[in-house]
Amino acid sequence: MTPGTAERPQMPVEDFEDLAAAAPEHVRLEFVDGRVRTKDPLSVEDFEELESRAPETVRLEYINGKLEVKAMPDGNHREIFMWLLRQCLLQRPDLNLVPESGVKAEAYRKGRARTDGTLAPVGRFRGDGEWSDPDGSLMAVEITSHDRDTNKRDRIDKPVGYAEAVIPVYLLIDRDDNTVVVHSEPKDGRYQQSSSHPWGVTVELPPPVGITLDTETLKDYAD
C-alpha cells in the first residue's frame, strides 16, 4: 500500500447499528475496535439468516466458522474488475466472470465466501440461490481492499477455502504490493502451485482457465 494510505476500519459504526438491528434475535453481535464479532458461536445456518437480513451497504462472509465483513469496493477496485472482465470475455467468450458471487467454500462446503469474481461456463449459475456450490467454477478472483483484514482474509484464509472447495485457480490481484498472484492445482486442501508477478508483466493463467493477462494497465490503478 502506498505510504500515507490509511487502512479502513472493517465497518462504520452506523452500518453496524443497522446490521445489529436487523439481526435475528438469537444472533448477538458486538462492535470491538471497528470490527464486528458474534458473542456466541455462529452456525452456517445462522450466518445465512443474518446475511439475508443485512442492509445493502454490508457484505458478509463466513470464514473459518466466523463472521467477516468484506469492504465495499472503491473506484480503482471496480476499474480493475472491469479490466479483468474484458480480458476474460475477449479470450474465453464461453465463460462468464460473475461479480459478487456467493460460493460455498472450505471443507465440506461449510464456508460462505463472496468472491469479487467467479469464472464459470455461461449458464452455470442458472437457478442457484445466494450461495452456489463450487462445482464447475474455474477460477475465484479477489482484488484486495485497503482494510485491516485483507492480509488474513485474502492472502491466508481464502487460498485455503478455495483449494478445499477444489476451485482450480485462485487469482489474487494485490493492490498493496502491486502484484498478481496465481494459485493453482488444488490438492488435499492446498494449492500446490503459487506464483507472484509484478504489475506490468504478462501472466499466463493455467488450465482450465487458459487466459493470458497483459497487466500493464494495472499500473494505472496503483494507489
47, 64 in Cβ contact below 8 A? no
111-121 and 95-105 as β-strands: parallel, antiparallel, unpaired? antiparallel
Alpha helices (runs of H) in 6-143, residue ranges in sequence order:
13-22, 44-53, 75-91
Query: Which pLDDT value is given to residue 1?
Result: 45
What average pLDDT score do residues 181-186 get? 98
Domain boundaries, the chain: 13-70, 75-221
In CATH, the architecture of 75-221 is: Alpha-Beta Complex (3.90)
* Nearest Cα residue to 114 out of 24, 177, 48, 168: 48
pTM above 0.85, yes or no: yes
The Cα 83–Cα 75 span in angstroms is: 12
14: number of Cβ within 10 Å: 10
pLDDT-based confidence at 9, cuts 50/70/90? low
38-60 in b/e form (b: 16+ CB < 10 A) is beeebebebbbebbeebeeebbb
Q: Kindly report, residue by residue over 160-176, the tens digit of the pLDDT.
A: 999 999 999 999 999 99
| Distances from the Cα of 209 to the Cα of 94, 138, 196, angstroms | 11, 6, 17
**pLDDT-wise least confident of 80-94, 119-133, 145-159:** 145-159
Cα–Cα dist 84/97, whole Å:
9
How confident is the model at residue 41, as a pLDDT? 94
Window from 26-30, 69-73, 199-203 with minimum mean pLDDT: 69-73
pLDDT at 49: 96
Q: Output the nine-digit C-alpha cell for 3.
A: 505510504
**pLDDT averaged over every residue in the chain:** 93
